[in-house]
Structure 1
């Protein structure tokens, strides 16, 4: 089977085995299909679970020995599907919406990244036994979850200038980044002494397997880790020193690539950390880019204002400016970008795609002081006036932005995982397949069955 390489938009879907899993809602249930689990008012069908598991098996073709037993794998994948349903429901319940046009744009991007047309993508899906309708539903769900996570980040996560300054100072002293992987043996909040002892025994057994050479770290993560990234071998990617808890960071400085820590107790349970690689990121080469200075007027699309109405309003505002009205006066009276309304719509200096490809494309096509026709983006309709351009070295600015992003990402991971645990605990989940179906209760999370490591 030919594999499709997705854009970053769908990294989570592919990693979770969900790309062709489909999104089946209660009203779509067919009597001939079995139900794998009920999640609040939604369901996961057995065929949906089987497709997601098959996708994982295809990813591990030739390395199936790294996967846990079939029943354990099914439980891991089912938990991912459950979390996806919970997140989609949360997004829809809080007013997050995705339009058909946005889904089409995302699919077009996936096709382009695979260097095929959308029609060829449809044909590929058909050859793989997947329906285009289910594929679109998967894209929709991923976009909903992305927007929910973005909204969550905006309301729950903030990074101060002082935090960025401190991180830059620390990075200037060391300049070291660490590529890490981990294995998590999770503990519930308020774990009992017996639960702690069981988890300690399990993590010790996993460490013994690795030390004896009976299993490599990635395979052990796939088989035994309770982390959401278990099926990716526990890979945590590159982390700056400030992104790692101080106690762990001190350990990293003493380790060599390939080494693994002894079991470490953290807020989520016991962990094994592996140092994969180390690199020096202290030096910043000049980074020359073209920056643009522009101002804009925004007319938003909403439940009360259709796209046609927003476009018509934007065209009227553009006609007023062409007729002699001052741009800044129209901004003050009519722009719906509250962040720039009191600044005459001024966006300051920015790089081409900072506000999205449609906005950037419009700005680059203008001459200085020219005013665009209404431009459509995901935010609504914009009237843009380009004020100037310059060549600028943004190495320091880029580095600061990267540090701010990494600190924010770390905070978001912590808050988001806590949020998901809360929502998972509150959800009614009724398992209809596997061992979890023997003792279903609302608001409880079934512990994943785990093969007992040798030596545990």
Structure 2
């Protein structure tokens, strides 16, 4: 099963009984229904919404299924419950924020996503439906979970607009580093003990004590790094053992990029104080990809609809028109036809908005991040650029041999992704900190520092 399939959380299934079928004995039927119907409890209140105990239980069951055969990595039940509940809370907050921003997912978008998940797992939609049934997941709930994933992806795309800038000096420095070393990649994991923005000295001291306690457990061999991440990390990827995947130097924060090049697999560095809090970083393994003339970069094909903001059209008016066009697209309207009729870019309007093939930075960092975040065939929500409001539909992607400009584009895209990740993590922490959350489960104790 691929990661795209595994990460879909198990849905909420409430056992709802049918109405009584014996009108001659309504009292007995009601008593039987009351005895059979499970009483669901509230696990957490999240602003004006709730997470039910049944939803939490099924999410925990899903995590346990993912760890089948390696249950020793999982923490005690109360700690696992806290981690899973925090993930559900964060997802619920993102959905609420997206809803407030008017972000929606059409039935057509959802159907394409279902087909994509099936294809990624080497099966048809009917086979996917059968596989889900074998795992106790009903198909409508699977679709709802997938819809939530798409909504949060759109929220992230909107968040990126206008926030990420990569200077030419940063690109020059990255290329200079690559010219003097092999193109190494590093498989990393991390543990984060988060601190709020403007943390007090007391909060910093508590966080530092906790991270030192976690490091002590790892150094003494009392707990593996992955198990410690699952149990103690505040990062959204805690339940994956803190795994960050493979990263090039450009994708590693400068605070510890130099140190990682000197590390051996299995080694841990930290605590490192960063903008998010205190981190421990483990190097799992390395691999070399030496630069060669045949190096390749990614190019994208896409269509766009541009609604310009100028002396005649205000930002609000342009945004409203872009939203209206997005609604028509969600209803099944043809993108090329709408672009031909409505786009304010004369160069692409006559081609149905077609931009041809381009690298991620060809139209600026914001545009490139939006296109890179889409799947082939997917359409973005409206987003703001220097020219106005844009809707983009990615129609294809390919790998091509890299020339100098293409290499610069690839490096710029990589640095942009790293910066977006940092800012997005901070945004999620702020979202959590500003929310009203009433957690109705017990909290685990943090490890003590020292021996």
Q: Which bin holds the TM-score, normalised by the shorter protein?
A: 0.7 to 0.9
Distance 1:212 1:141, change over 3 A: same
More deviation in 36-45 or 255-264? 255-264
Q: CA deviation at 1:155?
A: 3.1
Pick the aligned partner of 1:104 from 102, 111, 115.
111
Pick the aligned partner of 1:5 from 2, 9, 12.
2
Pick the aligned partner of 1:227 from 231, 235, 243.
235
Distance 1:148 1:180, change over 3 A: same
Q: CA deviation at 1:236?
A: 1.8
- Measured in 2, the distance between the counterparts of 1:337 and 1:425 equals 41
Are 1:340 and 1:346, in contact at CA under 8 Å, matched by a contact in 2?
A: no
Distance 1:119 1:454, change over 3 A: same
Please give the secondary structure, in 2, of the residue aligned with 1:302: helix
Distance 1:51 1:285, change over 3 A: farther
Q: How does 1:202-213 map to 2 (within 5 A)?
A: 202-213=210-221
Name structure 1 gaps, 5 residues minimum: 25-29, 318-329, 360-377, 383-390, 436-447
TM-score by length of structure 1 reads 0.72
2:6 paired with 1:20: no
Pick the aligned partner of 1:42 from 49, 66, 70.
49
Cα deviation 1:292-325 (Å, max 9, x = unaligned): 99999999873674778945993xx9xxxxxxxx
Cross-structure match for 2:325 = 302
TM-score by length of structure 2 reads 0.73
Please give the secondary structure, in 2, of the residue aligned with 1:228: coil
Q: How does 1:179-258 map to 2 (within 5 A)?
A: 179-258=187-266
Q: CA deviation at 1:50?
A: 0.5
2:447 paired with 1:452: yes
Distance 1:291 1:63, change over 3 A: closer
- Measured in 2, the distance between the counterparts of 1:346 and 1:271 equals 44
Are 2:191 and 2:229, in contact at CA under 8 Å, matched by a contact in 1?
A: yes
- Measured in 2, the distance between the counterparts of 1:250 and 1:293 equals 36
Distance 1:415 1:381, change over 3 A: closer
- Measured in 2, the distance between the counterparts of 1:306 and 1:294 equals 15
Distance 1:212 1:102, change over 3 A: same
Are 1:6 and 1:114, in contact at CA under 8 Å, matched by a contact in 2?
A: no
Q: How many residues align?
A: 385
- Measured in 1, the distance between the counterparts of 2:302 and 2:222 equals 61
Q: CA deviation at 1:396?
A: 4.6
Cross-structure match for 2:153 = 146
Pick the aligned partner of 2:129 from 122, 131, 143.
122
Cα deviation 1:64-102 (Å, max 9, x = unaligned): 222121111111111111111111111121121211111
Cross-structure match for 1:92 = 99
Please give the secondary structure, in 1, of the residue aligned with 2:166: coil
2:436 paired with 1:428: yes
Distance 1:295 1:109, change over 3 A: closer
- Measured in 1, the distance between the counterparts of 2:296 and 2:208 equals 52
Distance 1:133 1:254, change over 3 A: same
Please give the secondary structure, in 1, of the residue aligned with 2:161: helix
Q: How does 1:371-410 map to 2 (within 5 A)?
A: 393-394=401-402, 396=404, 399-410=407-418
Distance 1:166 1:72, change over 3 A: same
Distance 1:305 1:86, change over 3 A: same
More deviation in 295-304 or 86-95? 295-304
- Measured in 1, the distance between the counterparts of 2:304 and 2:188 equals 43
Q: CA deviation at 1:119?
A: 2.1
Cα deviation 1:239-281 (Å, max 9, x = unaligned): 3334334441232233222221242222322222212223334
Please give the secondary structure, in 2, of the residue aligned with 1:257: coil
Please give the secondary structure, in 1, of the residue aligned with 2:147: helix
Q: CA deviation at 1:199?
A: 2.8
Q: CA deviation at 1:198?
A: 3.1
Q: CA deviation at 1:157?
A: 1.8
Are 2:189 and 2:282, in contact at CA under 8 Å, matched by a contact in 1?
A: yes
RMSD of aligned alpha carbons? 3.9
- Measured in 1, the distance between the counterparts of 2:91 and 2:115 equals 23
Q: CA deviation at 1:19?
A: 2.3
Q: CA deviation at 1:289?
A: 9.9
- Measured in 2, the distance between the counterparts of 1:59 and 1:290 equals 32
Name structure 2 gaps, 5 residues minimum: 15-36, 308-321, 360-370, 379-390
